Chains A and B, each alone.
Chain A
Amino acid sequence: MSTPDTHAQADAALRAAIRQREREAFRNRWLLLAPGVGLIACVGLLPLALTMIYSFLEPGTYGGVTWTFSTGAYEQFLFERDLFDETLLTFNPSYVIIFARSIFLALVATVGTLLVGYPTAYFIATRPRESRNLWLFLITLPFWTNLLIRTYAMLLIIRDEGLINAVLMGVGVVEQPVGILYTDFAVFLGLIYSFLPFMVLPVYASLEKLDFRLVEAAYDLYATRWRVLRRVIIPATRPGIVAGCILVFIPGLGAYITPELLGGGKKLMIGNMIALQFGTARNWPFGSAAALILMAMVVLMLVFLMRRGGRQVGHG
């Protein structure tokens, strides 16, 4: 009889069909991924590669680069070349100071948004379900206006002739306007204002998932309100806090508009410093190098945070 034969045929046909299906699935996966991968390659990886190449070249006289290999850009970050002796390098802390100041301001802004954003997120998460969407909508409302315009609006409020000083002088608290504009404090205010939603949203997301019966259990076990917050609510919402801090700290580090307008561009931050290199200073390699150093720092910090976060989960 032909039965074993038919079986073998059916088997082979089945295997062929399975292979065909797998090939199609593979092709479909890549077809679906292609637009995203293409976009990332064109606007993400390619410019990054260019930046990396530029950072190892020499600056052209009128901007741009000359195609000569050089590590000068990286040296310039830390050292100053002697005017008379090209080979003599002396330590120049000014760029390090700019980086340190930027990190400090971004850190302060992160802590500030956390202090303002956490209670806000807690407030929203504890509203009745129907009204939460309204509150979230209000939080995202500022995004409807361009950051530049919002920053100008802020400038109008805090300048010497602005609303705050008008009120303070009108009430008679101060005689002379308080100089807020063009200080680090103004930059700090501006950063908190513009990045607050980035803190509120992830913190809200983790607070919303928080099982409030845990809070009840802690109260039941003699924890006072402060200890419930410290021992139960904050540890349970740590992922949201970490995400919020990352979302605020990284753009805060590279902020450009806020320090430019509210800080008056007097004290450079990394973003302004990099922009300067591609503009007036006409030193593209140095701008590229500074951008890469910033990126390396951010990546290192993220890796550190993620490894710490992972350990904390692992150890409970």
Chain B
Amino acid sequence: MGSDDGFIEIVDVTKAFGPADRRVFALGGVTATIRRGEFFTLLGPSGCGKTTLLRLIAGFELPTSGEIRLDGQEIGHLPPFRRPVNTVFQNYALFPHMTVAENIGFGLEMLDKPRAEIASTVARMLALVKMSDLAGRRTDQLSGGQQQRVALARALAPQPKVLLLDEPLSALDLKLRKEMQVELKRIQHETGITFIFVTHDQEEALTMSDRIAVMEKGHILQIGSPTEIYNAPAARFVADFIGDINFIEGEVVSCGDGRAEVRLPSGPLLSAHAGQPVSGRVTLAIRPEKIGLRAAGDGTAQLSGRITNLVYFGSGTNVHVDAGIGADIVARTTTPGVAIGDRVGLDLPFADLSVLAE
């Protein structure tokens, strides 16, 4: 048995497609550790390799190099039907010639379980996904949300060690998607199965995951809890991909004790926290909601400028300020009380202003 910390270990896995002279690497050396029972999300734009990584864990593709271990056992080269791993497919891939119950029982049947056990597990799974009254239906008579539930029940029925979910909510409308997000969390909690969830929707990733791996161009850029990913993005791509953020370019004047003093081209000096020593030209990042709006000339404001635009979005207003650093800085507030053209001061707290690794 592997330790709880390293339930699934992905060690330096690469995957290349195409003929030898024109290989394209979908994954270029990915290493990650997934804990037992956690909701782990692979997040990234399309083409970042997240689905390829999922298919490698499922066994639909074999790695070009590297190892995938599950519970201490190397599974990277086993066919899919020898891995205790099941998948919920993006298009659900329900068998059209079988009923809901037959679909859910398929995995158990292939494992040659006794009929009585199959029947009782199917009934339990139907109850888990709240589909008990539709057991005899054919799958093409179901709505998208119902198909989604059947696909989930079918993948859970054989009690896999790991459940893989390939953008399972992307085909649902917004309201249903929100419902299913809550449902999925509940089911994961009830079953205690490790979930690996693939999505390109950063909001979905933040709300559902215990930990997130942000991927780009075949590499994992950062692995962390939603709070870590959101508050302390390790790379510019991560910061940009998740939520809204302001980037401020500048030159490091001094650095020490996790604190960097950065001079902007327009003159002002900003204090930012830096995980590691930095020097030269750097990018600072800060979330709009972390920026404090001050009256013009207020002593606590490090920057000041003129409001160029106000964008109301229901729960707040984005205040666009031209502070003379090139792009507008966006600050978020719930109590604007300002108008376009007003001069305001901007407070950029040290704790929320981070230096990004390029």
Interface residues of A (CB under 8 A from B): 211, 213-214, 216-224, 227, 231-232, 235-236, 238, 316
Segment 32-83 of B: residues with Cβ below 8 Å from A: 58-60, 79-81
Residue contact B60 to A222, C-beta cutoff 8 Å: no
Residue contact A222 to B107, C-beta cutoff 8 Å: yes
Of B81, B85, B91, chain A has the most CB atoms within 10 Å of the CB of B81
Contacts of A224 in B (CB 8 A): 81, 110
Contact of B58 among A214, A220, A223, A235 (CB under 8 A): A220
Q: How far is the CA of A214 from the CA of B96 in the complex (A)?
A: 9
Residue contact B154 to A216, C-beta cutoff 8 Å: no
**Residue B188 CB within 8 A of the other chain:** no
Residue contact B89 to A216, C-beta cutoff 8 Å: yes
Q: Which residue of B lies closest to A228 (CB)?
A: B81
Residue contact B110 to A227, C-beta cutoff 8 Å: yes
Q: A216-B60, A216-B80, A316-B138 are in contact. Are A221 and B93 (CB under 8 A)?
A: no
- Tell me the smallest distance from the CB of A151 to a CB of chain B, in Å: 39
Q: A217-B89, A316-B102 are in contact. Are A222 and B97 (CB under 8 A)?
A: no
Contact of A214 among B60, B93, B102 (CB under 8 A): B93
Residue contact B81 to A217, C-beta cutoff 8 Å: no
Known: A216-B80, A220-B59, A316-B98. 16 other contacts (CB 8 A): A211-B91, A213-B93, A214-B96, A216-B60, A216-B87, A216-B93, A217-B93, A217-B95, A218-B106, A220-B58, A222-B110, A224-B81, A236-B95, A236-B96, A236-B97, A316-B97
Of A218, A222, A231, chain B has the most CB atoms within 10 Å of the CB of A222
Contacts of B106 in A (CB 8 A): 218, 221, 223, 231
Q: Which residue of B lies closest to A213 (CB)?
A: B93
Residue contact B95 to A219, C-beta cutoff 8 Å: no
Chain A residues touching B, majority SS: helix
**Residue B111 CB within 8 A of the other chain:** yes
Contacts of B95 in A (CB 8 A): 214, 217-218, 232, 236
Q: How far is the CA of A213 from the CA of B155 in the complex (A)?
A: 14
Contacts of A227 in B (CB 8 A): 110
Residue contact B86 to A220, C-beta cutoff 8 Å: yes
Q: How far is the CA of A131 from the CA of B99 in the complex (A)?
A: 36
Q: How far is the CA of A316 from the CA of B81 in the complex (A)?
A: 25
Q: Which residue of A lies closest to B137 (CB)?
A: A316
- Tell me the smallest distance from the CB of A187 to a CB of chain B, in Å: 36
**Residue B305 CB within 8 A of the other chain:** no
Q: A227-B110, A316-B102, A316-B138 are in contact. Are A220 and B97 (CB under 8 A)?
A: no
Q: How far is the CA of A214 from the CA of B97 in the complex (A)?
A: 11
Q: How far is the CA of A216 from the CA of B88 in the complex (A)?
A: 11
Q: Which residue of A lies closest to B84 (CB)?
A: A222
Segment 320-349 of B: residues with Cβ below 8 Å from A: none
Q: How far is the CA of A223 from the CA of B83 in the complex (A)?
A: 11
Interface pairs (18), CB distance under 8 Å: A211-B91, A211-B93, A213-B93, A214-B95, A217-B87, A217-B89, A217-B95, A218-B95, A219-B60, A220-B59, A220-B80, A220-B81, A221-B107, A222-B110, A224-B110, A235-B97, A236-B96, A316-B97
Q: Which residue of A lies closest to B91 (CB)?
A: A213
Q: How far is the CA of A57 from the CA of B208 in the complex (A)?
A: 83
- Tell me the smallest distance from the CB of A91 to a CB of chain B, in Å: 46
**Residue B158 CB within 8 A of the other chain:** yes
Residue contact B158 to A221, C-beta cutoff 8 Å: yes
Q: How many residues of B contact A (CB 8 A)?
A: 27
Q: Which residue of B lies closest to A313 (CB)?
A: B97
Q: Which residue of B lies closest to A236 (CB)?
A: B97
Q: How far is the CA of A219 from the CA of B83 in the complex (A)?
A: 10
Contact of A220 among B87, B102, B111 (CB under 8 A): B87
Of A220, A222, A223, chain B has the most CB atoms within 10 Å of the CB of A220
Q: A216-B60, A216-B80, A216-B89 are in contact. Are A222 and B158 (CB under 8 A)?
A: yes
Q: How far is the CA of A224 from the CA of B91 in the complex (A)?
A: 22
Contacts of A235 in B (CB 8 A): 97
Q: How far is the CA of A221 from the CA of B111 in the complex (A)?
A: 8
Q: A222-B158, A223-B110, A227-B110 are in contact. Are A316 and B99 (CB under 8 A)?
A: yes
Contacts of B58 in A (CB 8 A): 220
Residue contact B79 to A219, C-beta cutoff 8 Å: yes
Residue contact A221 to B91, C-beta cutoff 8 Å: no
Which 10 A-B pairs rank lowest in CB-CB distance, beginning with the nearest?
A221-B107, A217-B93, A222-B110, A219-B80, A213-B93, A235-B97, A223-B110, A222-B81, A220-B87, A316-B138
Contacts of A222 in B (CB 8 A): 81, 107, 110-111, 158
- Tell me the smallest distance from the CB of B94 to a CB of chain A, in Å: 8
Contacts of A220 in B (CB 8 A): 58-60, 80-81, 85-87, 155
Q: Which residue of A lies closest to B151 (CB)?
A: A217
Contacts of A231 in B (CB 8 A): 106
Q: How far is the CA of A227 from the CA of B109 in the complex (A)?
A: 11
Q: Which residue of A lies closest to B80 (CB)?
A: A219
- Tell me the smallest distance from the CB of B191 to a CB of chain A, in Å: 17
Q: Which residue of B lies closest to A212 (CB)?
A: B93
- Tell me the smallest distance from the CB of A136 to a CB of chain B, in Å: 25
Q: Which residue of A lies closest to B96 (CB)?
A: A236
Q: How far is the CA of A214 from the CA of B91 in the complex (A)?
A: 10
- Tell me the smallest distance from the CB of A211 to a CB of chain B, in Å: 7
Q: How far is the CA of A218 from the CA of B60 in the complex (A)?
A: 11
Contacts of A218 in B (CB 8 A): 95, 106, 110
Q: How far is the CA of A13 from the CA of B87 in the complex (A)?
A: 64
Contacts of A236 in B (CB 8 A): 95-97
Contacts of B111 in A (CB 8 A): 222
Q: How far is the CA of A34 from the CA of B85 in the complex (A)?
A: 61
- Tell me the smallest distance from the CB of A285 to a CB of chain B, in Å: 48
